Structure 1
């Protein structure tokens, strides 16, 4: 797979690193996902991450049911990290 050329795409400052990143990069996609999850009310976020127990419906399985427990643990740590970064501002 060829390297992606982001030279002609807008840049934004990463809240995680403070560096400029392309709005078409995986880093930006990840930051947007984490910011979206952080903005959710806690109860809704937990259902979104963990899903509804016993369901087979993809919509109700949550991120854990689609991506697995490790992905949810990583997202939770990133949500906490972004929350702490924003509190320091």
Structure 2
């Protein structure tokens, strides 16, 4: 059991909630340019992996991740 900042409660360390928080935490830790590349991909990239999360999961998933990244950033800066 671990504390989730995003969910504001304890969650199981093998849950989807925790995997989501770890993904958001990782993306937040990246420099902005690298984060943008992972989220939005490389413009004009022919292969799916280079298209980033947007190419794999779609624009709505990227928009939701960006909201969660900003939310976690705010939670962590309030300390």
- Common fold, TM-score beyond 0.5? yes
- What is the CA distance between 1:14 and its match in structure 2? 0.8
Q: Deviations over 1:27-52 (max 9, x none)?
A: 00000000000000000000110001
| Residue 59 of structure 1: aligned partner | 49
Q: Hey, which bits of structure 1, 4+ residues long, moved more than 3 A? A: none
Larger radius of gyration: 1
Give the structure with the higher percent helix: 2
How many residues get paired? Answer: 79
Q: Structure 2: where are the runs of 5+ without partners?
A: none
Q: Does 1:26 align with 2:34?
A: no
Q: Structure 1: where are the runs of 5+ without partners?
A: 1-10
- What is the CA distance between 1:22 and its match in structure 2? 0.3
Secondary structure of the residue that 2:18 maps to in structure 1? helix
TM-score (norm 1): 0.85
- What is the CA distance between 1:57 and its match in structure 2? 1.4
Secondary structure of the residue that 1:61 maps to in structure 2? helix
Q: Which has the higher contact order (CA 8 A, sep 6+)?
A: 2
